[in-house]
Chain A
Amino acid sequence: MSAHSAAHATIQLKVNGRSYRRSIPVRKLLADVLREDIGLTGTHLGCEHGVCGACTVLIDGRTARSCLVLAVQAEGSEILTVEGLAAPTAPLHPVQEAFCEKHGLQCGFCTPGMLLNAVALLQEKPDPTEEEVREGIAGNICRCTGYQQIIAAVLYAASLRNGGAASRQSEEVTREETHHA
């Protein structure tokens, strides 16, 4: 990239292991470049002021809000989006599998950001407690689930990653016998 200041730039972005060369206005947010210029629409925008976390991606393995990163700032880094967790016809990543299995989503809008946050969380804490998971996802807002099933999904994902070893997953819900009126 040129050393002179400019309003447009041609940059190289490394996303999900692949390199993309794009000419963009320097003001364009990373989220918009991912969604529009690269066509990876899995990263969603929920607020554009850094609160909701729907736009969460991993930059060099750490969570970042892509609505608060200019695409030009991300040049030279490794970016991971939800699409990078599993190739289109490949089996699901354990975290994705866990969210399906434990009903960790409803509308799916917060899900990509939530998944990447979970991936980063489990990288740092491979066997988290329920409290650690609850706190670990606090930066990602969900309006649908009330979080409890997401927490169960992340704990389950931990157990899948640990090769099925018993995790400290707690039972969230019990189901009563059917009552006949």
Chain B
Amino acid sequence: MKPPSFCYLRAGSVEEAVEALARSNGEAKILAGGQSLVPMLNLRLAQPDLLVDITRIASLTRLELDSQRQRLLIGAAVTQSEVEKSALVRQAAPLLAEALYYVAHPAIRNRGTLVGNAVHADPASEVPAVLLALGAEFIVVGPGGERTIAAGDFYVSALTTALKQDEIVTRIEIPVVQARSCSCWLEVARTHGNYALVGAGCRLECDAATIRRARIALCCVADTPVRALAAEAELAGRSITDGRAVERAAEVAALNLRPPGDIHASAIYRSELATTLTRRALNTALSRLNHDPVME
């Protein structure tokens, strides 16, 4: 299982990368960590003419807080390990740090980039769902310049995003919530580090007694990550101790889902898990409300 032949370009700047993509007429692929791309190359499921390596572009390696706009900025070359271990991320977007624990194994996270995972758009991946829940935005650069795509508009179908073939994501921006909030990511996977069968994450912004705003997202239940809007609506304005609201939210989270079935999990089983994991994630998040985010 060896990769097919291709050319390799180590881009020195974003412009150079974009130019190479534009010239290649769709036959080039961006290489960051390679943890999604190289297995596909080894299996010869992808046969690009050119790989454009963006990991040496300095501007893409930054992980920082834009304190003015209260946004977490994660560059395209930042690895998932860096994000997971970052004190900044654990403070500003604990749901992301928590979910990253479930992504494969440390050796994969040491190389794989957060943006790479997000852009790969695997319906079974945690990262797109988390970005959806956190209201993230993708900063995209193409031959025509820069544009912003909200996470809700980014995911089109399995392995397919709103990116044009000559555009690259240079960074992801995550709004930092000012209010008191709690979050939790939970999933069921067959084996540790394996793809989730279903994953559910939530972030709840609360005041002293009520849930002001809930954001809930699921992976593995459709060909894109799914915002559980109906479930969110069930919780808005509810008391933080309203267990029945949590139950209702969990039930409606699975309504109208048509999850895929495969050898690891049937559609019915995935629907059940959607409800179970939503309920458990909500309850765990609420139990954390008075403590600092609980991290390993």
List chain A positions with a Cβ less than 8 A from chain B.
Answer: 1, 3-7, 9, 25-27, 29, 32, 48-50, 53, 56, 59, 62-65, 67-70, 72-73, 117, 120, 135-136, 138-139
Check A50–B3 contact: CB distance below 8 A: no
Write 8 A-B pairs (CB below 8 A) sorted by A numbering.
A48-B2, A62-B110, A67-B38, A68-B34, A68-B38, A70-B8, A73-B55, A138-B193
Instruction: Name the one of A9, A32, A120 contacting B8, with C-beta atoms under 8 angstroms.
Output: A9
Encoded as 1 (CB less than 8 Å from any A CB) or 0, chain B from 78 to 109 comes to 00010000000000000000000000111110
Whole-angstrom CA separation of A6 from B4 in the bound complex: 14
B residues near A69, Cβ cutoff 8 Å? 34, 38, 111
Whole-angstrom CA separation of A1 from B56 in the bound complex: 13
Whole-angstrom CA separation of A115 from B110 in the bound complex: 17
Task: Return B114 CB to nearest CB of chain A, in Å.
Answer: 16
CB-based nearest A residue for B43: A49
Check B42–A67 contact: CB distance below 8 A: yes
Instruction: Name the one of B8, B42, B104, B111 contacting A72, with C-beta atoms under 8 angstroms.
Output: B8
Check B110–A64 contact: CB distance below 8 A: yes
Q: A25-B5, A27-B2, A49-B43 are in contact. Are A1 and B107 (CB under 8 A)?
A: no
Check B4–A3 contact: CB distance below 8 A: no
Secondary structure call for the B interface: mixed
Q: A50-B38, A69-B34, A69-B111 are in contact. Are A139 and B8 (CB under 8 A)?
A: no
Check B41–A27 contact: CB distance below 8 A: yes
A residues near B7, Cβ cutoff 8 Å? 5-7, 26
Whole-angstrom CA separation of A64 from B109 in the bound complex: 9
Whole-angstrom CA separation of A180 from B53 in the bound complex: 67
Secondary structure call for the A interface: mixed
List chain B positions with a Cβ less than 8 A from chain A.
Answer: 1-10, 12, 20, 31, 34-35, 38-39, 41-43, 50-51, 53, 55, 81, 104-108, 110-111, 192-193
Check A64–B3 contact: CB distance below 8 A: no
Whole-angstrom CA separation of A6 from B193 in the bound complex: 36
Task: Return A22 CB to nearest CB of chain B, in Å.
Answer: 15
Task: Return A87 CB to nearest CB of chain B, in Å.
Answer: 25
Instruction: Name the one of A5, A29, A138 contacting B20, with C-beta atoms under 8 angstroms.
Output: A5
Check B105–A49 contact: CB distance below 8 A: no
Check B42–A49 contact: CB distance below 8 A: yes
A residues near B1, Cβ cutoff 8 Å? 48-49
Check B4–A1 contact: CB distance below 8 A: no
Check A7–B5 contact: CB distance below 8 A: yes
Whole-angstrom CA separation of A59 from B105 in the bound complex: 15
A residues near B106, Cβ cutoff 8 Å? 62-63, 120, 136, 139
Whole-angstrom CA separation of A27 from B34 in the bound complex: 12
Whole-angstrom CA separation of A53 from B38 in the bound complex: 15
Task: Return A75 CB to nearest CB of chain B, in Å.
Answer: 9
Q: A5-B7, A9-B8 are in contact. Are A49 and B110 (CB under 8 A)?
A: no
A residues near B55, Cβ cutoff 8 Å? 73
Task: Return A143 CB to nearest CB of chain B, in Å.
Answer: 14
Task: Return A146 CB to nearest CB of chain B, in Å.
Answer: 15
Check B5–A53 contact: CB distance below 8 A: no
Instruction: Name the one of A32, A65, A73, A135 contacting B108, with C-beta atoms under 8 angstroms.
Output: A65
Whole-angstrom CA separation of A18 from B195 in the bound complex: 38
Check A68–B111 contact: CB distance below 8 A: yes
A residues near B9, Cβ cutoff 8 Å? 3-5
